Structures are given as C-alpha cells and as structure tokens.
Amino acid sequence: MSKTVKELEVTVDQLELGMRVVRLDRPWIETDFLMQGFIIQDQSDIDALVRQCDSVYIEAIYETVAKPERREAPKGLFARRRSVPPPVKVAVQPAGSLKKARVARPAAGEKVTYINKINTERELPAARNAYSSAKTVVKNIMEGIRIGRMLDMNQARETVDHIVDSILRSKDALAWLTKIKDKDEYTAEHSLNVCILSATFARHLGHDEKEIREIALCGLLHDVGKSKIPDEILNKEGRFTDEEFDLMRQHTTFGRNLLMSLPNADRIAIDVAHSHHERLDGNGYPRGLQAHQIPYNAKVIALTDSYDAITSSRCYDRARASMEALDIIYKCKGTQFDDELALEFIKCIGIYPPGSVVEFTNGEVGIIVSTDEKNKLRPRVIIVLDADKNPGRERIVDLNKGAVDDNQQQYIIAREIPNGQFGVDIRDYLKKGLVIQGQSKPLG
C-alpha cells in the first residue's frame, strides 16, 4: 500500500480541526488570511473560512494498493501479453482527519454497560504487572524524548491496551495502584494514573471499547510536552518562580508540536496535549478557548488530570484526600470543568475510592477494596487495625450489607487518612496480593 498526497475540494461545512488548507476557492489576497496554507487549529479558523469562502482545497491522503510485481512474461512461443491493471484506489481521507472525534458523552441509548468479569483481588496480580511495565514504558518515552529519540506510538498504544484490558475485566484493581505515590517519579506516575483514571471514567460514561482506548491514550500522552522542561524545574522542591511557571505552562504547546511531528499520532491525542488546560470560562491556556471549542476528550482529561494532581504527593507538596479533590471539582464545575462531566466524574470516583485508607467512627482502620456502583459510601473494606490502632484480626467487611463491629455497631467511615498513617501502607497489601492473615489464597 502506498500513499500519495493530493488536493481535495471540500465545502466549508465539511471542515474539521486538523485539516491542512492548501488553497481557497478564491485568491488568498481577497481574504483576511495572512498565510497561504495552514492547518485548522481551532474553531475560529473554521469560522473565518465559513465567512469568506464557499469551498476550500485541503491536503488529502490517497492510499493505493499496487499489484504485486510480476516476473517479466516469458518471451517466445508461449508468451502471452497481459495488461497490468491500474492501481486500485481503496481510500480517500483528508490528511489529519482520520475519524470524527466524539463531541459529547454517550447518550442514554448508546451507552455501553460493563460488568466486572473478575473481582478486584483476582485481577490485582495482572493489574500490578500491567502497571509496572506501563510505568517503565512511560519513563522510557519521557527520557527518550529528552535525548532526541522519537516517541514510539505503537508502544504507547500497546501499553494502553494492557491497561484498558485490565479495567474492562475489573474497574477497581488498577485504581488501587494509582493510590501508591512515589514522589521521585511524579511525572511518569501522573501520566499513567491519568491514563488509568481516564479509561475508568470512560468505562463509567458508557463509551465503547475503541473510544475507551482512544481516551486512555490521550491520558497517557497529555503531558508528553513536559519532557521538554528541564528536570531541575520539573522536580523543583518549592514553588515555581513566575518565569518557571510560564515555562511549565508551555508544556501544552511542546506536547502538541512533539506529537504533530510524528507520522502516526492520533489527531485527538494532539488536541488533548494542547488543550487539557483550557477552561470552560475561556480563562485557560494556551489559547483561551471558549467552551464549545474545547475538544470533548480534553474536557475528560482536564478532570482526571486535576484529580490526580490534587491527590498526588509531588516532591514539594503534600497530597490531599480524594474528598478534597472532588470538592474542588464540584465547586469549579461550570467555570473550569464541564458541568455534566464533573458530576459524572464524582459519581465514578466516589469519596472513598479503592485503595483509600479510612478510619471508622469506632476508631478501627481499614483499606477500601472495592466499591459498589450504586452505593459508593458503602464499599468493601479490609479491617487492618483495631480501635486502639493495633494490628488486629484482618477481615473483610461489606458495608453495603450492613456489617457490624464486635459491639454490634454498624461500621461508618469517619474520614480518609493518608497512606502510611498508623503504620498502614497499602504497598504491603499489594505485595502479598490482598491475602489476609490466616488465608493462603487471594480473597474472592
């Protein structure tokens, strides 16, 4: 299969972001455009073309299948003349517009409903492997870009496939792993966590599998532009100076440029890398887009990105609890975040997500194993400390089934506490695969 680039005439109502306009239906000099040929970057470009033209010529890729090369026909008595047919045209598509991007969450009638195929405990070993290898890939991507290596999109897609496969089997296992934070690996972990949270959120919203993979890829690559920021700024302990802050904000443009330089990057991943810090009220960066100009996937990633940033322990800050992050998202809906998506995200995550360490009103301490879709305030929990904060008999309690303590009092969660408090570290429970004392097999 070979590709040739040709001009294709399209009417202005067919224009999409990412198309490369090479010619107009009138001389450039009769229009406002300063550049003779450009890529449509945002809605204002489309609006300007609609105002001034009826049709334009865009760059289109023609894919052709060439017949296999033939041996030269034998000459002589048995020679037969054969005519070689012309190449077969198989597809015509505008360059950079491989597929229409989704512009809104699935409507009620088109939602896909998923069920967990296996429980959290059984998925955890596979999730742990997927997380570990994905983290290595993300670190290699970031480090590779720093030394001038090209980002391998196929490797990124393969990584996303492993992550999404795990989330489709069980939504909570990888969520556990996002709760473990290593302050020295913030950028790689953050990219991976945003990928996981975005895939989990897309599953919650009812996207089909292909869309979930697309959104997860956007999450994985949203901060790829940070590989162009010097390490000493990225890992700085303390607040950024104004100059450093301005440079940090440029990671969106760096990311867009980096992905655009690749021959096979998804257009929507480019848009998300560029637009995930845009705000609904037009005060975002880098372009100050209006709400309708922000791509849907960028609105999704804005939520998962902010949630993970607030709940992560960066080298110079202390992480906040899930509830505080959700409080901020709730209060900033409509100005920073899409209203409906923000509320759906809060429903998806819940105040006590899997892997959270919680204290009950009776003083006992536990770790959230999994949550019930319909009642996120009543999850399944491993009790790990007694009321005096001493290691006690580990057991699973299901709050949704009205579990009671030794005094026949119903278990009620009082608050989330930081991982590591009272000597409870979720890493220990991940290492042993959620096997509780007295059992040799994972819970299930």
Partner 1 sequence: MTTDSSTNKRKLVRLLCNASFGDSVLTCSEQSFVAKSINYNHQGICVFTFQRIPEVDTLEIGFSYQQGNEEVVVDKIPCQVVYALFTETGDQFGLRFLWDDIDPAVQERLRRIEALLEKNSDDQDRYGLNHQ
Check binding of 305 to partner 1 (CB under 8 A).
Answer: yes
Query: How far apart are CB 39 and partner 1 at their closest, in Å?
Result: 26
Count of positions (residues) in the chain? 444
Minimum distance from residue 212 beta carbon to partner 1 (Å): 23
4 vs 375, beta carbon nearer partner 1: 375
What phi, psi does 127 have (nearest 5°)? -65, -40
The single residue among 70, 80, 318, 401 that binds partner 1, judged by CB under 8 A, is 318
276 within 8 A of 309, measured Cβ to Cβ: no
Q: Kindly tell me which residue out of 161, 317, 372, 398 binds partner 1, with binding defined by CB under 8 A.
A: 317
Q: Of 194, 310, 365, 426, which lies in the binding site for partner 1, with binding defined by CB under 8 A?
A: 310
The nearest distance, CB 346 to partner 1, in angstroms, is 5
Residue 57 CB, shortest distance to partner 1, in Å, is 39
The pair of three-digit structure tokens given for residue 385, joined into one six-digit string: 């400390």
Are 171 and 203 in contact, with CB atoms under 8 Å apart?
yes
Q: Does 343 bind partner 1 (CB under 8 A)?
A: yes
Evaluate whether 61 touches 4 at the Cβ level (below 8 Å): yes
Check residue 418 for interaction with partner 1 (CB under 8 A). Answer: yes
Alpha carbons 280 and 339: distance in angstroms, whole number: 9
Q: How far is CA 193 from CA 343, 371, 376, in A?
A: 20, 19, 21
Residue 205 near residue 106 (C-beta atoms within 8 A): yes
Q: Applying CB under 8 A, which of residues 324, 339, 406, 428 lies at the interface with partner 1? A: 324
Do 342 and 333 meet the contact criterion of CB atoms below 8 Å apart?
yes
> What is the b/e burial string over 402-415, where b = at least 16 CB atoms within 10 angstroms of the residue's CB?
ebebeeeeebebee
The Cα-based distances of 350 to 201, 287, 322, 374 in angstroms read 12, 32, 8, 10
Question: Which span sits near partner 1 by CB under 8 A: 75-83, 85-93, 193-201, 328-336?
Answer: 328-336
What is the per-residue binding string for partner 1 in 344-363, x denoting contact by CB under 8 A?
A: --xx---x------------
Q: Binders of partner 1 among 233-262, rule CB under 8 A?
A: 239-240, 242, 245, 248-249
Q: Least distance from C-beta 331 to partner 1, angstroms?
A: 5
Say whether residue 316 binds partner 1 (CB under 8 A).
yes
Structure tokens that stand for 406 in this block: 């030794």
Tell me the closest approach of the beta carbon of residue 242 to partner 1, in angstroms. Answer: 7
Residue among 111, 320, 389, 395 that touches partner 1 (CB under 8 A): 320
The dihedrals phi and psi of 394, each to the nearest 5 degrees, come to -75, 135
- Binds partner 1 (CB under 8 A): choice among 50, 309, 403, 436: 309
Q: In the complex with partner 1, which residue's Cβ is closer, 38 or 316?
A: 316
Amino acid in position 33: F
Q: Minimum distance from CB of 360 to partner 1 (Å)?
A: 14
Question: How many CB atoms sit inside 10 A of residue 35's CB?
Answer: 8
Burial class for 243, CB neighbours closer than 10 Å (0-12, 13-18, 19+): exposed
Q: How far is the CB of 195 from partner 1 (least distance, A)?
A: 17
Q: Which stretch binds partner 1 (CB under 8 A): 2-10, 147-155, 258-266, 308-316?
A: 308-316
Residues 182-201 binding partner 1 (CB under 8 A) are none
* Residue 177, token pair as written in the block: 């792993």
Binding region for partner 1 (CB under 8 A) out of 29-37, 55-63, 324-332, 365-373: 324-332
Q: Which of 169, 277, 299, 380 binds partner 1 (CB under 8 A)?
A: 277
Which of 119, 297, 306, 370 binds partner 1 (CB under 8 A)? It is: 306
CA 259 from centroid of its chain's CA atoms: 15
Task: Tell me if 421 contacts partner 1 by CB under 8 A.
Answer: yes
CA distance 173 to 126: 9
Quick one: which of 400, 363, 403 has its CA closest to 384?
363
Quote the Cα angle for 16-20-25, to 5°.
90
Closest CB to partner 1 among 328 and 396?
328
Contact 418, 313 (CB under 8 A): no
- Which of 400, 425, 426, 422 has the alpha carbon at shortest distance from 411? 400
Q: Which is nearer to partner 1, 54 or 339 (CB)?
A: 339
What sign for the dihedral angle of Cα 280, 281, 282, 286?
negative
- What letter would DSSP give residue 77? T
In the set 60, 142, 268, 326, which binds partner 1 (CB under 8 A)?
Answer: 326
Rule CB under 8 A: say whether 181 interacts with partner 1: no
114 sits near partner 1 (criterion: CB under 8 A): no
Stretch touching partner 1 by CB under 8 A, among 9-17, 151-159, 260-268, 322-330: 322-330
Residues that bind partner 1 (CB under 8 A): 239-240, 242, 245, 248-249, 277, 283, 302, 305-306, 309-310, 316-318, 320, 323-324, 326-328, 330-332, 336, 343, 346-347, 351, 377, 417-418, 421
